[in-house]
Chain A
């Protein structure tokens, strides 16, 4: 289990983490979402003992983060950080050795990892000769070779095509079953929705919303959303207010928060007499939660 309590970090005048607190339970996939500069990388750096916090603490399995906890962490950087001229197996061997594995233990663990990641076909292929999807797999496998308690995945599917992304999601879901806790940072909200059992939204160095997907959905005061395009926004907003519909501009789109579920025809009828370019009904998703939390 990972516990982050009241973590503070500033660079000069700039406060990057402001009493950040969250915890990750055993076997959880915790999604840390937030815009660029919200403090995700700084949190990871402190967790990996690359940076010291100004205040607060992080513990892993009850042990405060230090040089001694490095072996408890498996870190998967956003970029493919592997030795391209080495084969998959040689890369795994290298990372196993620098994490202190040796002898028959290394061989056994590498066999196990090759099986988990379905790498048998490519174990003797140079990384430079593999496709992006397979490289991503090995990038993750190399972080797990020393059997860490926590796996940190920093934007694990960035730059992958749809098929490879789905395959990798499946793999990450299976890793959860193997008993490792996962901290995932991502900009892809769909990824967080599919993979994470708990999501924390980080904004200006603080967790501004946290919970399961359903709990987070509850933070948007609506049962349904109506996204409307019109040249006569003033009239639409006035009319909507008369029905008790609040509105937001999520990503520049005029969105009404409907307090109950409607069918499209009923919404159109309620806005009768106003010229609408387009109208669509949507379920509340993580995108709206994220925008609600980070944009106010």
Chain B
């Protein structure tokens, strides 16, 4: 157990040190959601100065503009980086277990997600926003979202991204439509009915709706149970697919 902890800590601390040194990604992961939050906070306030727009805006911004790019784009970039620097081969030669590597990456992204959550809600609170529901339930939704994103990131990173240039392609192609369809920036209520039906299959929609329900409307587990079940199932599926793709990538890498 201690060995696993040691390995996970090695991976997590390495990723975080690198991120803090490089800064660029971190800065963008802060600037983008901040600007989006301010922009959409103002749009929904409609210039009336109403403060409750900052009750409704943070969940979507956190899920769609912050965690999406850091926790989905992050692992994709990490895997590509390990391949390009050939450090993946070195890791393969070591006795470290693949599961330690995966959990190490999840843990690093949980730290980043925590930071982004504090920033997004900190700004929202500054402008009068409030978190109305259970904090624990909110944290559970964020936790499931991070695991989903990292799992999906592993899947895309292992399957499609071979070089740095490949990173943005799959994220933009699959991710951005899902963000919009998931009601990150505009309420799903504004969508035509056939798109609403489609949105129901979008995991980001369930992340958004669950967190909005808890954060902005103070809903409890029972009211958001449908979203939680969908999100929980998707999380298991994403982690399973991610780990499987990662393992098959390792096999390929082993063959050189």
**CB within 8 Å of B: which residues of A?**
41, 45, 48, 50-51, 67, 70-71, 73, 75, 77, 79, 81-86, 90, 93-95, 97-100, 102, 126, 142
Q: Which residue of B lies closest to A67 (CB)?
A: B95
Check A86/B6 contact, CB under 8 A, given A70-B93, A81-B87: no
Q: Select one of A51, A77, A82, A83 contacting B255, CB under 8 A.
A: A51
Say whether B7 faces chain A, with CB atoms less than 8 Å apart: yes
* Residue of A45, A82, A85 touching B17 (CB-CB under 8 A): A85
Residues of B whose CB lies within 8 Å of any CB of A are: 2-3, 6-7, 9-11, 13-14, 17-18, 21-22, 85-87, 89-96, 254-256
A sample of 24 inter-chain contacts (CB < 8 A) reads: A48-B93, A50-B92, A51-B254, A67-B95, A70-B94, A75-B90, A75-B93, A79-B85, A79-B86, A81-B86, A81-B89, A81-B90, A83-B14, A83-B85, A85-B21, A86-B18, A86-B21, A95-B90, A97-B10, A98-B7, A100-B3, A100-B95, A102-B2, A126-B21
Nearest-CB residue, chain A, relative to B23: A85
| B21 x A81 contact (CB < 8 A) | no
Residue in B9, B18, B86, B254 whose beta carbon sits within 8 Å of that of A97 in the complex:
B9
Selected from A41, A90, A95, the residue in CB contact (under 8 A) with B94 is A95
Tell me how far the C-beta of A239 lies from the nearest C-beta in chain B, rounded to whole angstroms: 50
Q: Smallest CB–CB gap between B195 and chain A, Å?
A: 43
CB-CB < 8 A to B85: which residues of A? 79, 81-84
How many whole Å from B208's CB to the nearest CB in chain A?
A: 34
Residues of B within 8 A of A85 (CB): 17-18, 21-22
User: Looking across the interface, which residue of chain B has its beta carbon closest to that of A69?
Assistant: B95
Contacts of A90 in B (CB 8 A): 14, 17
Q: Given the complex of chains A and B, what is the CA–CA distance between A71 and B93 in angstroms? A: 9
Do B93 and A94 touch across chains, with their CB atoms under 8 A apart?
Answer: no
Using CB atoms, name the residue of chain A closest to B11.
Answer: A98
B-chain residues with CB within 8 Å of residue A70 when the two chains form the complex: 93-95
Chain B residues, Cβ within 8 Å of A99: 94-96
Distance from A183 Cβ to chain B, minimum over Cβ atoms (Å): 13
Q: Are the C-beta atoms of A102 and B14 separated by less than 8 Å?
A: no
> Who on chain A is nearest to B20 by CB?
A85
Expressed in whole angstroms, the minimum distance between the Cβ of B93 and any Cβ of chain A is: 4
A85 to B14, CA, bound (A): 10
Closest beta carbon of chain A to B122's beta carbon, Å: 28
Given contacts A86-B17, A99-B94, 7 further A-B contacts (CB under 8 A): A41-B256, A51-B255, A67-B95, A75-B93, A98-B95, A99-B96, A102-B2
Report the minimal beta-carbon distance from B97 to chain A, rounded to whole angstroms. Answer: 9
Residues of A near B92 (CB, < 8 A) are 48, 50
Q: Tell me whether B93 and A86 are in contact (CB under 8 A).
A: no
Q: How far is the CA of A45 from the CA of B254 in the complex (A)?
A: 8
B7 cross-chain contacts in A, Cβ below 8 A: 97-98, 100
Contacts of A95 in B (CB 8 A): 90, 94
| Complex Cα gap A98–B97 (Å) | 9
CB-CB < 8 A to B96: which residues of A?
98-99
Which of A67, A71, A97 has a CB less than 8 Å from the CB of B6? A97
Chain A residue nearest in CB terms to B22: A85
Interface centre among A48, A83, A98, A142, by most B CB within 10 Å?
Answer: A98
